[in-house]
A and B are shown apart, each in its own frame.
Chain A
Amino acid sequence: MNIPYTVEERPDSGLANGKLGIWLFLASEVMLFGALFSTYIILRTGASEWPHGELNVWLGMANTFILIASSVTMVMAWASLKLNDWGKHRLYLIATFVLAGIFLVNKYFEYSSHWTRGELPSRSTFLAIYFTLTGLHGLHILGGMVVMAYFIGPGASLWKRNPDQFANRIEYTGLYWHFVDLVWIFLFPVLYLL
């Protein structure tokens, strides 16, 4: 028996199941990051002093550019499918995957430079919240890369069997990816600049 409403819209909500599902998941993600941002505000307002200039602004800025570019390539991967252009879809999805990888490589260099200077989470409240927020965000990047790798690899065969369902799955992946970008848009000024 087929799972209903994977492509067609439900008569009550006007949405396919996956669409509502991913938005409810993103709502829970807003709460998760919201709780951590709230914690950051409590820690910062309660601290007698807060460090400035401990992080490499240019590396953070480069990572912001990378994530913005990856959001554009991700939405283009979906748009290419809707325009029935499989070749461009592959190109854009692989570009998104590569950009995500570059983001993590940058993050690795940033983390290792902190660790070699002995700047561990245990050293200060700022470093503790910095590693918590960026570490959780990095795990989300990694999660997105796993999903993208699946659709670049074994999951791609669905396009031949059910192109509409495949396009929907890419759209849901894109919604998740844009959310990860959105979180970084707030993390960058909060941690690197203020």
Chain B
Amino acid sequence: MHSDPAAIKKSVRTYFMVGAALFAGTVITVSANQVHLAIPIAITVALIIAITKGSMVAAVFMHLSHEKKWIYGALVLTVIGFLVLMTVPMFTMMDSIGTPDAQAGAPHAETPRH
């Protein structure tokens, strides 16, 4: 992260430019939504813009473009944890235990005892 005044003076212009880019990104997101794209395309477009905007906030405002390696290390662990969380829905969808199809396909389905 910059600490000398000359570098910070330079960064000020960048901060305002990134702010303007974030405003533009928001307008594009809403405009794309007004077009009424197919849902998979709409999700892809919205997420690409959101990821781009998020990266700009993290890189410039949070100074992640020039941080110390300990911060990057902590963030790598965070990303791994976040990806694990994002795979939970996938495993939930793959899980067929208890569904009628799984019970019908089971080779030795036990009949309930009374």
Chain B residues closer than 8 Å to A82, beta-carbon distance: 2-3, 5, 8
A61 B19 Cβ-Cβ under 8 A: no
Contact with B along A34-61 (1 / 0, CB 8 A): 1101100110011000000000010001
Interface of A is mostly: helix
B86 A61 Cβ-Cβ under 8 A: no
Instruction: Count CB-based A-B contacts (< 8 Å).
Output: 126
A13 B46 Cβ-Cβ under 8 A: no
B12 in complex: contacting residue of A13, A45, A68, A79, CB < 8 Å? A79
Q: Number of A residues whose C-beta is below 8 Å from B?
A: 48
Q: Number of B residues whose C-beta is below 8 Å from A?
A: 47
Known pairs A61-B26, A69-B19, A194-B43; A181 contacts B68 (CB<8 A): no
Q: B102 an interface residue at 8 Å Cβ cutoff?
A: no
Can you list 7 A-B contacts (CB < 8 A)?
A: A13-B68, A14-B68, A26-B78, A30-B82, A61-B26, A71-B19, A181-B61
User: Assuming A30-B82, A174-B62, A186-B54, what are 8 further A-B pairs, CB within 8 angstroms?
Assistant: A27-B75, A27-B77, A38-B88, A45-B93, A72-B18, A72-B61, A82-B3, A185-B53
